[in-house]
C-alpha cells in the first residue's frame, strides 16, 4: 500500500553543496545591497535606483524560492511540473540573465556615486554588493552550465 501523501524531507546536503552555499550568499548579498541602496538616498538618479532595486529584490526572491524548493526536496515532489519544464535549464537561464542585469545595475549604481556627495559611502557599498552579486550569480550560472553540459553528454539508454 503506497502512501498517497509523500512526506517532505529536508535536503541538508543541498545547503552544504556549492550551489546551496552560493544561493545563501546571493540572498545575503541581496539583503545587504537593498539596505545600502535605501540608506544611500536619491541624488536625482531615481531610475537607476529603481532598476537596482528591481534586480536585487528579484534575485533575492528567486534565490529564496530556489533554496526552499531544493532544501525541502520539492523538486522531487513536483515531477508533473518538471515534465513540462526543464528545471535545471530554467535556473541556468535565469542565472545568466540576472548576471547581466546585476552587472548593469552595479555599473549604474557606480555612476550615482560620483553624482553627489550625499550619503556617498552607502552608494559605494551598494555598488560593491552589486559587483559581489554579479560574481555570485555568475558562478551559479557557470555551475548550471557545467551541470547542463554534463547532463547533455551522458549517453542515452537504448530501450531496445
Is residue 1 included in any domain, yes or no?
A: no
- Does residue 94 surpass a pLDDT of 70? yes
Over residues 20-43, the pLDDT tens digits come to: 999 999 999 999 999 988 887 666
pLDDT of residue 79: 64
Residue 17 counted as domain residue: yes
Residue 157 lies in a domain: no
How far is Cα 78 from Cα 35, in angstroms, rounded to an integer? 34
Number of domains in the chain: 1
pLDDT of residue 91: 87
Q: Percentage of residues in the chain with pLDDT exceeding 90?
A: 37
Burial environment of residue 87 by CB neighbours within 10 A (0 to 12, 13 to 18, 19 or more): middle
Q: Report d(CA 62, CA 24) in Å as an integer.
A: 11
Please give the residue range of the domain that contains residue 108: 12-148
Contacts 24+ apart (CB under 8 A), 27-32: 27/60, 27/63, 27/64, 27/67, 29/129, 29/132, 29/133, 29/136, 30/56, 30/57, 30/59, 30/60, 30/63, 30/133, 31/60, 32/125, 32/129
Nearest to 24 by CA among 76, 69, 60: 60
Kindly indicate the confidence band of residue 1, based on its pLDDT and cuts at 50, 70 and 90.
very low
* Predicted local distance difference test score (pLDDT) of residue 3: 47
- Asked whether residue 33 is domain-assigned, the answer is yes
C-alpha cell at 17: 553543496
Amino acid at each position: 500500500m503506497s502512501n498517497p501523501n509523500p512526506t517532505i524531507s529536508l535536503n541538508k546536503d543541498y545547503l552544504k553543496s556549492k550551489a546551496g552555499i552560493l544561493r545563501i550568499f546571493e540572498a545575503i548579498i541581496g539583503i545587504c545591497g537593498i539596505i545600502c541602496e535605501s540608506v544611500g538616498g536619491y541624488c536625482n538618479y531615481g531610475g537607476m535606483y529603481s532598476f537596482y532595486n528591481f534586480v536585487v529584490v528579484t534575485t533575492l526572491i528567486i534565490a529564496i524560492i530556489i533554496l526552499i524548493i531544493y532544501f525541502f526536496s520539492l523538486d522531487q515532489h513536483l515531477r508533473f511540473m518538471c515534465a513540462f519544464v526543464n528545471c535545471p535549464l530554467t535556473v541556468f537561464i535565469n542565472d545568466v540573465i540576472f548576471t547581466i542585469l546585476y552587472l548593469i545595475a552595479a555599473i549604474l549604481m557606480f555612476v550615482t556615486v560620483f553624482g553627489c556627495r550625499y550619503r556617498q559611502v552607502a552608494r559605494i557599498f551598494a555598488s560593491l554588493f552589486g559587483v559581489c552579486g554579479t560574481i555570485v550569480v555568475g558562478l551559479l550560472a557557470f555551475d548550471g552550465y557545467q551541470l547542463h553540459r554534463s547532463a547533455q553528454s551522458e549517453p542515452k539508454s537504448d530501450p531496445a
